[in-house]
Amino acid sequence: MRDIAVVAYAQNPIVRDAGANNEVELIMPVVKQVLKDAGLKDIHDVDFTCSGSCDYLQGAAFAFVAGVDALGAVPPIKESHVEMDAAWALYESILKINMGAAESALIYGFAKSSPGKLAQVLSQQLDPYYYSPLWPDVVSLNAMQARAALDAGVLTEEDMAEVVSRSRANAKSNNKAQLSGDYSVEQLLEEPEYIAPLRKHDCPPVSDGASAMIICTVEKAKEWGLPYAVIKAMDHRIETHNFGARDLTMSESTAIAAEAVGVKSAKVDIAEIHAPFSHQEIILKKALGLDDNTVVNPSGGPLAGNVMMAAGLDRIGEVARRIINGEAKRGVAHATSGPCLQHNMVTVLEAE
Amino acid sequence: MPQNEPEVLSQAFTLGYTYTRSTGPVVGRFLTGLRERKLIGNQASDGKVYVPPMEYDPKTAEAITDFVDVAETGVVKTWSWVNEPNEKHLLKKPFAFALIQLDGTDVPMLHMVDAGSQEAMSTGMKVQVRWADETQGLITDIACFEPASEEGKVAEKPAVAADLEPVTGVESPIYLEYNFTAGKATAAFLSNIKKGKLTGGKCPECTAVYVPPRGSCPACGVANDENVELTNKATVQSFTIISIPIPGNPIKPPFVVANLMVDDTHQSFLHIVSGCDNSDVRIGMRVEAVWKPEEEWTHAMESIAYFQPIDEPDIPREEIGKLEPSANEPSANEPSANEQPSANEKGEKKDA
- Which of A135, A137, A245 is closest, CB to CB, to B107? A245
What does chain B come to in residues? Answer: 352
Closest CA of chain B from A239, distance in Å: 8
Cβ within 8 Å of residue A118, ≥6 positions away: A57, A138, A206, A308
Nearest residue of A to residue B171, measured between CA atoms: A129
- Say what the pLDDT of residue B59 is: 87
CA angle A90, A93, A98 (to 5 degrees): 125
pLDDT at position B339 over 50: no
Mean pLDDT of B3-21: 83
- Report how far residue B237's alpha carbon sits from residue B218's, in angstroms, rounded to the nearest whole number: 20
Residue B68 has pLDDT above 70, yes or no: yes
Q: Is pLDDT at B2 greater than 70 in this prediction?
A: no
Q: What is the pLDDT of residues B255-270, one digit of tens each?
A: 999 999 999 999 999 9
User: Which range, of B21-35, B177-191, B333-347, averages the lowest pLDDT?
Assistant: B333-347
Q: How far apart are alpha carbons A136 and A120 in whole angstroms?
A: 8
3-state helix, strand, coil in chain B (%, to 5): 10, 35, 55
Residue of B nearest to A148 (CA): B78
A122 interface with B at CB cutoff 8 Å: no
Is the Cβ pair B83, A195 closer than 8 Å? yes
Structure confidence by residue, pLDDT tens digits, B274-314: 999 999 999 999 999 999 999 999 999 999 999 999 999 99
In this prediction, residue A231 carries a pLDDT of: 98
All residues of chain A having their beta carbon less than 8 Å from the beta carbon of residue B221 are: 28, 31-32, 42-43, 69-73
Q: Does A56 touch chain B (CB under 8 A)?
A: yes
Closest to A164 in 3D by CA, of A248, A314, A275, A284: A275
Smallest CA–CA distance from B31 into chain A, residue: A129
Judged by CB atoms closer than 8 Å, whether chains meet at A120 and B88 is answered as yes
| Distance (Å) of CA B90 to CA A137, A247, B101, B169 | 12, 27, 21, 22
Average pLDDT over residues A211-227: 97
Q: Do β-strands B226-229 and B199-202 pair in parallel, antiparallel, or remain unpaired? A: antiparallel
Q: How crowded is the C-beta side of B307, counted as CA atoms within 13 Å?
A: 28
Which residues from B are below 8 Å from A19, CB to CB?
Answer: 8, 181
Residue B345 in this model has a pLDDT that exceeds 60: no
In this model, does residue B335 exceed pLDDT 70?
A: no
Q: Would the pLDDT of B145 be above 50?
A: yes
The pLDDT of residue B333 is above 60? no
Per-residue pLDDT tens digits for A129-139: 999 999 999 99
Strand order of the β-sheet with B199-202 is: B209-210, B199-202, B226-229
Residues whose CB is less than 8 angstroms from the CB of residue B8 and which lie 6 or more positions away in sequence, other chains included: A19, A20, B181, B182, B187
Output the 3-class SS for B251-282. CCCCEEEEEEEECCCCCCEEEEECCCCHHHCC
Residues of B in contact with A245 (CB under 8 A): 50, 54, 58, 107
- Confidence band for B182, pLDDT divided at 50, 70 and 90: confident
Taking residues B110-139, what's their average pLDDT? 97
Quick one: A287 exposed, middle or buried, by C-beta within 10 A (0-12, 13-18, 19+)?
buried
- Contact residues on chain A for B185, CB-CB shorter than 8 A: 22, 25
Quickly state the pLDDT bin for B325 (edges 50, 70, 90). Answer: confident
Q: Do A43 and B221 touch (CB under 8 A)?
A: yes
pTM of the model: 0.92
Contact status of A88 with chain B (Cβ, < 8 Å): no
Most confident of A296-305, B10-19, B249-258: A296-305
pLDDT at residue number B154 = 58
For residues A238 and A253, give the distance between their C-alpha atoms in angstroms, rounded to a whole number: 6
Q: Are A43 and A31 in contact (CB under 8 A)?
A: yes
To the nearest whole Å, the CA of B324 is away from the closest chain A CA by: 15
What is the rounded distance in angstroms from the CA atom of residue A129 to the CA atom of residue A125?
12
- Beta-carbon count within 10 A of B166 CB: 13
Of B119-128, B160-169, B240-249, B342-351, which range is least confident? B342-351
- Closest residue by Cα to residue A195 from B94, B127, B266: B94
Q: How far apart are the two ends of chain A, measured CA to CA in Å?
A: 16
Count of positions (residues) in chain A: 352
Confidence (pLDDT) at B5? 60
What are the structural domain ranges in chain B? 24-167, 184-319
**pLDDT at position B337, please?**
40
Mean pLDDT of chain A: 97
What does the alpha-carbon distance between residue A275 and residue B331 come to, in Å, rounded to a whole number? 51
Please indicate whether, in this complex, the C-beta atoms of B139 and A134 are within 8 angstroms of each other. Answer: yes
User: Once rounded to an integer, what is the mean pLDDT over residues A85-102?
Assistant: 97
Where residue B96 falls among pLDDT bands split at 50, 70, 90?
very high
pLDDT at B117: 97
| CB atoms B86 and A120 under 8 Å | yes
Is ipTM strictly over 0.90? yes
Closest C-alpha to A125, from A243, A26, A208: A243
The answer to which of A1-5, A206-210, B124-128, B138-142 has the lowest mean pLDDT is A1-5
Domain B24-167, what architecture? Beta Barrel (2.40)
Instruction: State yes or no: pLDDT of B162 exceeds 90.
Output: no
In this prediction, residue B321 has a pLDDT band, given cuts at 50, 70 and 90, of confident
The pLDDT of residue B147 is above 80: yes
- A222 touches B at CB < 8 Å: no
Can you point out the beta strands (E) in chain A? 4-11, 48-52, 79-82, 104-112, 193-196, 198-199, 208-217, 229-238, 270-272, 295-296, 330-337, 343-351
Which domains are assigned to chain A?
Answer: 4-117+206-224 (3.40.47.10)
- The pLDDT value recorded for residue B336 is 41
B77: closest chain A residue by CA: A148
Chain A residues within 8 A of B214 when measuring between CB atoms? 22, 24, 66, 69
Flag if A74 and B177 touch (Cβ within 8 Å).
Answer: no
- Interchain proximity B80–A143, CB inside 8 Å: yes
pLDDT at residue B276, as a whole number:
94
The answer to whether residues A50 and A90 touch, using CB atoms and an 8 Å cutoff, is: yes
A36 sits in which H/E element: helix A23-37
To the nearest whole Å, the CA of B63 is away from the closest chain A CA by 14
Chain B contact for A116, CB < 8 A?
yes
Nearest alpha-carbon partner for B352 in B291, B298, B300? B300
Task: Tell me the count of A-B CB pairs closer than 8 A.
Answer: 200
Q: Which range (A97-106, A279-288, B44-53, B338-347) has the least confidence?
A: B338-347
Q: Do B81 and A128 touch (CB under 8 A)?
A: no
Residues of B in contact with A141 (CB under 8 A): 80, 97
Across the interface, whether the CB atoms of B80 and A195 are under 8 A apart is answered yes
A26 touches chain B (CB under 8 A): no
Give the C-alpha separation, A346 to A168, whole Å.
24
- pLDDT over 90 percentage in chain B: 76
Q: A17-42 burial, b if ≥16 CB within 10 A, otherwise e?
A: bbbbbbbbbbbbbbbbbbbeebebeb
The larger pLDDT score, comparing residue A275 to residue B162, is at A275
Q: What's the rounded Cα separation, in Å, for the pair B272 and B73?
A: 63
**Averaged pLDDT of chain B:** 89
What value does the mean pLDDT take over residues A105-130? 96
pLDDT tens, A302-313? Answer: 999 999 999 999
pLDDT tens readout for residues A16-54: 999 888 899 999 999 999 999 999 999 999 999 999 999
Burial classification of residue B316, based on how many CB atoms lie within 10 Å of its CB (0-12 exposed, 13-18 middle, 19 or more buried): exposed
Region of A325 on the Ramachandran plot (φ > 0 left; ψ -120 to 50 alpha; else beta): alpha
pLDDT tens digit sequence for B219-243: 999 998 889 999 999 999 999 999 9
Instruction: Name the least confident of A140-144, B11-15, B153-157.
Output: B153-157
Tell me the C-alpha distance between B257 and A65, whole Å. 24
Contact criterion met (CB below 8 Å) for A309 and A190: no
SS3 A352: coil
